[in-house]
Structure 1
Amino acid sequence: MQPFLSAVTVNGEVISPEAIAAEAQNHPAPKSKPGIAWMAAARALAVRTLLLQEAHRRGLLPTPVQVAEGQVETDDEALIRQLLDETLAPPAPTATDLRAAYDAAPERWRAPTLYEAAHILLLVQPDDAEGFAAAHAQAVALLDEIRRSPRAFDEIARQYSACSSRETGGRLGQLTSGDTVPEFEAAMDAMDVGTISGAPVKTRYGVHIIRLDARAIGAVLPFEMVAPRLSELLEKAAWAKAARDFVAKLAADAQVTGITLQAA
């Protein structure tokens, strides 16, 4: 752990180990690899320091704005925003850019898929490993019973499901893309209509047995309909690239110790 406890300096300005440790709480990493969070935090603070130094060098004065109801920027946040607003001016995407982005993957732009499904939920707290194991074993047993008698699904849902849909035999009604958690939707996408999940499906809520009654895949949307959204995405991507390039230039001209900014 010792290598991760040293201070970082940016053009002579010290970022203390205590500040890095506090920032590391905002960078998830496996508990067995705390160094990942430490390095990410050190890089984030080093970049922040570089940007603030440049803002001060240019003589900018902070003018905080409200970013949400009851929430106003700090002076540092305002300075960084003002610096980037002053510095970055990526070109707007052209009609040709939009068309090329759409034609590269038109299947990305679909209307929502519609589902009709039913499920049996065995509720488990997200951090309860033993609970998930027990629920999985119970779900396997229930699946075996349902396979022997598919009509038993409704009654088993009423008896065992922790979801309010148990009152209707587990029926969830019509769902659209995004209505359920990604794990549940992925399971429905992988199933054939009229079938029951071949194995229990684990989500953040517990363990599910899913029956897919119907699915209507959304049609590919025409270019004209998605062009505004495409333009917004390309503008954001261009701005992000310009910001990365700007930070890379600052880093290349800076004297930084204790961390490398190559992966910042």
Structure 2
Amino acid sequence: MILSVNGFAVTVDAGQPAELAAARELLRQRAIALALLEPATEDDETVEAAIEALLEKEVVTPVPTDAECRRYYERNPAEFESGDLVNVRHILFQVTPQVNVPHMRVRAEQALNTLLAEPDRFAALAAELSNCPSGEQGGNLGQVGRGDMVPEFEKAVFKFGASGILRDLVKTRYGFHIVAVDLRIPGRKLPFDVVQERIAERLRSQVEERALRQYVSVLAGQAEIEGAHIEASASPLVQ
């Protein structure tokens, strides 16, 4: 691919978008124009440092105000809720390529029926039957949240109303599980002061990305580029 920026031939690495290579060259040339980089410099680390200095000098990113952060907090409540938690125990009947699956399911169903009648035996049967290391702790997986387990297991334990020993086996990619949901802790909305710094960083990153795109667009509007398309803008350079 032939790429040139203001008559300067640019090498495009394999797999690299031409637009990205052109944008970097625009920034390199601007750094040279502002005497932040010697024209003959080829060392990548030096060039990158000069580009960072250029962006710090010419691309101003406003710091989000408390009011802006609070508006984001109020408009996106789901982002700032601590996840639901459950205390879970299980007994795993693992399915492997060598296992007779129907036979394994029958064993699991028999154990489940036993536990529905005698729930106090859960720890003993977990130690005896479970193919999970948690069997040594009575099948206890501790406190888990959404995203901690495989989707099939998560769907079962977070199902509305699920509690105690579930009356059906839970089938996952690992095998058949007998599952007991012992305690459910609903999620709650985190206080604003706990998440304010996270919100400010997110908003700052969004503004920085927009400002950088605009800055490169302005440079492109003043340049001759062949071999790549960068949306150009005639706006003045960001000061």
TM-score by length of 1: 0.62
| Alignment deviations for residues 201-254 of structure 1 (CA, whole Å, 9 cap, x no partner) | x5xxx7785836243232112223322322222122211221122122223333
Residue matched to 1:218: 187
Matched, 1:50 2:26: yes
Q: Which of these residues, 9, 12, 19, is aligned with residue 14 of structure 1? A: 9
Once the two structures are aligned, what percentage of the paired residues are identical? 26
Equivalent residues of 1:88, 1:242 under 8 A apart: yes
Q: In the alignment, is the contact (CA less than 8 A) between 1:109 and 1:226 conserved in 2?
A: yes
Deviates more, 1:49-58 or 1:251-260: 251-260
1:146 corresponds to: 108
Aligned 1:1-264 pairs, distance under 5 A:
6-16=1-11, 19-21=12-14, 24=15, 41-61=17-37, 74-118=45-89, 120=92, 142=104, 145-147=107-109, 149-150=111-112, 151=115, 161=131, 163-168=132-137, 170-176=139-145, 180=148, 183=151, 187=155, 191-192=159-160, 193-194=162-163, 195=166, 198-200=170-172, 209=177, 211=179, 213=181, 214-262=183-231
Question: Looking at CA atoms only, which structure, 1 or 2, has the larger radius of gyration?
Answer: 2
- When residues 145 and 231 of structure 1 are mapped into structure 2, their CA distance, relative to the original with a 3 A threshold, is same
Distance 2:219 2:176 in 1: 51
For structure 2, list consecutive stretches of 5 or more residues without a partner in the other structure: 39-43, 116-120, 232-239
Cα distance in 1, alignment partners of residues 228 and 135 from structure 2: 55
Which residue pairs with 1:68 in the alignment? none
Deviations along 1:70-110, whole A, 9 cap, x unmatched? xxx91122112111111121222223212211111222112
Kept in 1, the 8 Å contact 2:153–2:170? The answer is: no
Per the alignment, residue 28 of structure 1 pairs with: none
Answer yes or no: is the 8 Å Cα contact 2:89–2:140 preserved in 1.
Answer: yes
Unaligned 5+ runs, structure 1: 1-5, 25-39, 63-72, 124-130
Q: CA RMSD in A?
A: 3.9
Q: CA, structure 1 residues 176+254, in 2 after alignment: closer, same or farther (shift >3 Å)?
A: same
The question of whether the paired residues in 1 share the 8 Å contact of 2:5 and 2:226 is answered with yes
Higher mean alpha-carbon deviation, 53-62 vs 233-242, is at 53-62
> CA, structure 1 residues 49+216, in 2 after alignment: closer, same or farther (shift >3 Å)?
same
8 Å contact kept, 1:143–1:209? no
Q: CA deviation at 1:257?
A: 2.2
Task: Give the residue type in structure 2 aligned to 1:117.
Answer: V
The count of residues paired between Structure 1 and Structure 2 equals 212
Task: Provide the C-alpha distance between the structure 2 equivalents of 1:55 and 1:197, rounded to a whole number of angstroms.
Answer: 64
Q: Aligned partners of 2:158 and 2:53: how far apart in 1?
A: 47
